[in-house]
């Protein structure tokens, strides 16, 4: 089933949408943890993984429950100011960043910020999307990104790998928690005639593997100030092995990392950088 279609005329640069409440109740948090496989002692002490705030669930609420079917996610930046907590209610505002149309394909940015009851910023993100048309199917690749230094990290001992695989049950669990029904991820019949022939894992699910890796390496301070800036390079088929890696840039004092996720063939499906808070 395709997502309810958003009126693309709403995506005007600078447009703002109604604020929405992000309620981090136990049912939502537990479902998110089950889907992503995230586990850390901090989460047993009522912390919530900051990336839970990146789910399209909250963006769709601001957009009236609609989303442009056939959208490919090109990249995402996410910055955590502090880890949210179970039961907390946060206020999220959403606005449109840059919008560009090329050959009938709309590239747009959605910017959001989550604030606590006192108005303090908890997290902020930028999602870069490409609307490829309502008939777009899984297996399509986004345009190749420009070369970036994050793909050629300085020589240092790599951190990782942290390996996982995402069967359909976890794709469905994340889709339910995110309020997203994109058939490229969830409908085998929709994916069967595509070049890959199978569904692909949500990019937001794969990127949690990088967050888990850096949390294990840096400890809870990563949740209280970590930032990711990533690009999605190629689709990851459902239920295939994937591993996260990080590599410190020694010239940046050990707080900047190149990060990536690779499939079983060594192809990088995600590349980018991370910025850790100072010890």
Per-residue model confidence as pLDDT tens digits over 180-191: 888 889 999 989
Q: What percent of the chain has pLDDT over 70?
A: 90
What local confidence, expressed as pLDDT, does residue 155 receive?
55
Question: What average pLDDT does range 146-155 have in this prediction?
Answer: 45
What local confidence, expressed as pLDDT, does residue 152 receive?
47
- Using DSSP's 3-state secondary structure scheme, residue 31 falls into helix
- What is the CA 178 to chain-centroid distance, rounded? 11
What local confidence, expressed as pLDDT, does residue 139 receive?
56
What is the enclosing helix (H) or strand (E) of 127? strand 121-131
8-275, CATH topology level? Thiol Ester Dehydrase; Chain A (3.10.129)
Q: DSSP letter at 138?
A: T
Cα separation of 51 and 208, whole Å?
7
What local confidence, expressed as pLDDT, does residue 144 receive?
52
Please give the model's pTM, rounded to 2 decimal places. 0.90
Cα separation of 227 and 123, whole Å?
9
Q: Retrieve residue 100's tokens.
A: 């560009």
Whether the pLDDT of residue 78 is over 70: the answer is yes
Residue carrying structure tokens 């049912």 = 27
What is the enclosing helix (H) or strand (E) of 173? helix 168-178
Whether the pLDDT of residue 1 is over 80: the answer is no
pLDDT in tens, 96-134: 999 998 887 899 999 999 999 999 999 999 999 998 765
Confidence band, pLDDT 50/70/90 cuts, at residue 228: very high
Q: Starting at the edge strand that comes first in sequence, how are the strands of the sheet with 89-102 ordered? A: 16-23, 89-102, 105-115, 121-131, 71-80, 227-232, 268-275, 256-263, 241-248, 159-165
Give the angle subtended at the CA of 229 by the CAs of 203 and 136, to the nearest 5°. Answer: 35
Whether the pLDDT of residue 251 is over 60: the answer is yes
What local confidence, expressed as pLDDT, does residue 2 receive?
57
Whether the pLDDT of residue 218 is over 70: the answer is yes
Whether the pLDDT of residue 138 is over 60: the answer is no
Contact 66, 8 (CB under 8 A): no
Confidence band, pLDDT 50/70/90 cuts, at residue 4: low
């Amino acid at each position: 089933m395709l997502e309810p279609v958003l009126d693309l005329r709403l995506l005007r640069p600078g447009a703002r949408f109604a604020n929405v409440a992000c309620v981090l109740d136990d049912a939502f948090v537990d479902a998110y943890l089950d889907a992503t496989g995230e586990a850390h002692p901090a989460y047993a002490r009522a912390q919530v993984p900051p990336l839970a705030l990146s789910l399209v669930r909250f963006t769709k609420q601001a957009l009236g429950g609609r989303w442009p079917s056939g959208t490919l996610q090109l990249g995402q930046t996410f910055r955590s100011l502090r880890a949210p907590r179970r039961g907390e209610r946060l206020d999220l505002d959403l606005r449109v960043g840059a919008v560009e149309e090329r050959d009938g394909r709309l590239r747009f940015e959605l910017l959001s910020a989550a604030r606590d009851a006192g108005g303090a910023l908890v997290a902020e993100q930028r999602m870069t999307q490409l609307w490829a048309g309502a008939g777009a199917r899984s297996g399509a690749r986004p345009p190749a990104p420009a070369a970036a230094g994050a793909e050629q990290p300085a020589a240092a001992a790599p951190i990782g790998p942290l390996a996982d695989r995402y069967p359909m049950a976890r794709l469905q669990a994340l889709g339910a928690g995110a309020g997203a029904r994109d058939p490229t991820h969830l409908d085998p019949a929709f994916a069967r005639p595509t070049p890959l022939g199978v569904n692909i894992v949500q990019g937001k699910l794969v990127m949690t593997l990088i967050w888990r890796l850096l949390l294990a390496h840096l400890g809870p301070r990563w949740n209280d100030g970590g930032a990711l800036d990533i690009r999605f390079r190629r689709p990851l088929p459902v239920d295939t092995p994937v591993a996260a890696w990080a590599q410190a840039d020694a010239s940046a004092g050990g707080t900047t990392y190149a990060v990536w996720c690779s499939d079983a063939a060594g192809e990088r499906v995600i590349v980018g950088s991370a910025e850790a808070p100072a010890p």
